[in-house]
Amino acid sequence: MNPKENYLHEFFRIFFANKQLVKRVFLTFAVIALLLPLLLKQSFDITAQVIVQSKKLSQGDATTSLTVDNATFIPPSLADMETESNILRSPALIRQTISELRDNGEYSPPPGVFAKLLGEPFKRYVSTPLREYVINPLRNGLGMETDPVRDTTLDALTQQAVDSLKIETLPGSNVISITYSFPDPRQGTTFVSALLQNYLVSRQALQSIDLPQSFYETKKHQYQVRLDGLEGNRQALLENVGAADPKEEITFRLNAINTEEQALNLYQDRLLQSQRWLEYLKTALAAASSSKLNDYTFPYTFTTTVDNVAFEDREIKQMGEQLTSQVSRYMNDLAVFQPGSEPMLLTREQIARTRQQFLKVVSNRIQERTADLAVVKQVIEQKTARIAEFKNRIRDLQQTQSKLRQMDTEIDALHAAFSTYAQRFAESSTTRSLNDDLSNARVLSPPFEPTEPAFPKPLLIIPFGLFTGLLLAIAFVYVREFFDHRFKHPAQISHELGLPVLLVLNEETSQPGNPHKNWTMPSLVHWVRN
């Protein structure tokens, strides 16, 4: 080929020289592109989304003490999201879902799916009759163990569902996207819904720390026995000390001690004062008994103070005034009469009798004060003994209160544990709904039945099929032209042989026109052939 030749001209020369072949190849692919949307089996995409808001993290196991803080929630990481995706695409979970739906008659794939399943390995489908009717009888005859014949339909359906199920985590989020391709939109939607429900149940079962009911029954009995023992010990302590509320009684006893100590201080002051006055009175009485006739005064008035009010002894006062009056009269008469005269003798006898009476009364008052002093001493002893008794009682109550405080702490802890246990036991003994579950995994977008198939799409297949047919037709023509070494134009002779071209004879025979009417089937057939 001449390098100076026009390549575009060469392209059109080859194209129009082989236009019949181009038309046939293009039309063949055009027909295929038009028939593919009709021949291909429709497939519907059922979509759903699951959001994992947080991850349940257990702080202990079920054999430890049950508290309300046994579980907490933390944001999920990328590894957690991958784990959630693996749980969703688990073959065991898919197999369980398909088995449940088949038992309920809600999952029966159309024949097209079984035709696809026949493309699985030969041993799974074709070899079953061979094993049952040929291999197993031979094994029985030779005394060998036979291979069990089982239905592999569920395995095939599970594998088909695993291949058609697309599960991925949306980038930068905690949302899992589920896409399931299935020929029947209703059955596909039912399958995805059941798969999501089983996923939530399985997820909760994996993260739960619940144990069998027998464990809870045993634990409950242990808690009850321990609680009864603690309550019995607490009651025995209260009975031994003879108190219903040690704290309240301690407060009462402390108040009583305070009152008694105040009264004791008053009595002790009174005792000291009475002792000093009594000693003074005895000294004054001894002095008055040996005094002369004209010493008529007594140094003490016997005044008693009660509530800051002074009360005088009237008898002592009257006798003292009488004695003073007699002594004064005697002293006055002594200036007139002789000391040995009869009036003076009578007056002295009278003063002596009054003086004896006065000293007798004073002696009686001293005895009274002595008795009163003894009473005060007894009261002081009684109050001292009472205060000591109160203190001993308080000491016993404080010891009991300390033991009760320790026991109450243990009882409160046991009550809290028993309350949490009872709550968990109630939850485990009843059917727990998913909405009340502690897990924060939720179905964000439930599956819905699609109305349009996801495959095939005629608007994509037909244009791309026509364009592909045109490119393949041109490529086929160029391949044919590459292997065709015949001369097509005079320039090839000069280029290949190096000889000049003297004469070129053009064939002027023209192709007959299309005799048929335009846009009819005969016209199209004539156009394709020519």
Lowest mean pLDDT of 171-175, 200-204, 225-229, 391-395, name the range.
200-204
Model confidence, pTM = 0.45
507: which 2 tokens? 């064939």
Cα 246 to its chain centre, rounded Å, is 39
**What's the N-to-C CA distance of the chain in angstroms?**
29
Amino acid at 173: S
Domain chopping of the chain, boundaries: 41-209, 240-429
pLDDT of residue 444: 83
Q: How confident is the model at residue 30 (pLDDT cuts 50, 70, 90)?
A: confident
Task: Write the CA distances from 351 to 289, 292, 334, 354, 478, integer angstroms.
Answer: 13, 11, 14, 5, 176
Fold of 240-429: Helix Hairpins (1.10.287)
Q: For residue 337, give every residue at least 6 positions away whose Cβ sits within 8 Å of its Cβ, in sequence order, or none.
A: 343, 344
pLDDT of residue 133: 62
pLDDT of residue 441: 78
pLDDT digits (tens, 9 = 90+) for 114-156: 444 444 444 444 455 556 666 667 767 666 665 554 557 888 8
84: which 2 tokens? 């959630």
Question: What is the C-alpha to C-alpha distance for residues 472 and 409, in angstroms, rounded to an integer?
Answer: 89
Instruction: Tell me the residue ranges of DSSP E strands in 248-394.
Output: 303-306, 309-312
Please provide residue 502's backbone torsions phi and psi, each rounded to the nearest 5 degrees: -90, -35
Q: How confident is the model at residue 104 (pLDDT cuts 50, 70, 90)?
A: confident
pLDDT digits (tens, 9 = 90+) for 383-438: 999 999 999 989 988 888 888 888 888 888 888 877 777 776 666 655 444 444 44
Secondary structure (DSSP) of 451-473 = SS-SB--HHHHHHHHHHHHHHHH
pLDDT of residue 10: 72
Task: Write the CA distances from 478 to 7, 16, 325, 488, integer angstroms.
Answer: 13, 12, 173, 14
Question: What is the C-alpha to C-alpha distance for residues 321 and 310, in angstroms, rounded to an integer?
Answer: 19
Question: What is the C-alpha to C-alpha distance for residues 71 and 56, in angstroms, rounded to an integer?
Answer: 7
Asked if residue 219 has pLDDT above 80, the reply is no
pLDDT digits (tens, 9 = 90+) for 296-327: 567 766 776 666 666 677 877 788 788 888 88
Residue 143 Ramachandran class (φ > 0 left, ψ -120 to 50 alpha, else beta): left
3-state secondary structure string, 80-103? HHHHHHHHHCCHHHHHHHHHHHHH
Question: What is the C-alpha to C-alpha distance for residues 419 and 171, in angstroms, rounded to an integer?
Answer: 43
Looking at per-residue pLDDT, the higher value among 344 and 266 belongs to: 266
pLDDT of residue 345: 84
Question: What is the C-alpha to C-alpha distance for residues 297 and 347, in angstroms, rounded to an integer?
Answer: 17
Q: Give the single-character DSSP code of 295.
A: -
Asked if residue 249 has pLDDT above 60, the reply is yes
Question: What is the C-alpha to C-alpha distance for residues 123 and 131, in angstroms, rounded to an integer?
Answer: 9
Q: How confident is the model at residue 379 (pLDDT cuts 50, 70, 90)?
A: very high
pLDDT of residue 437: 47
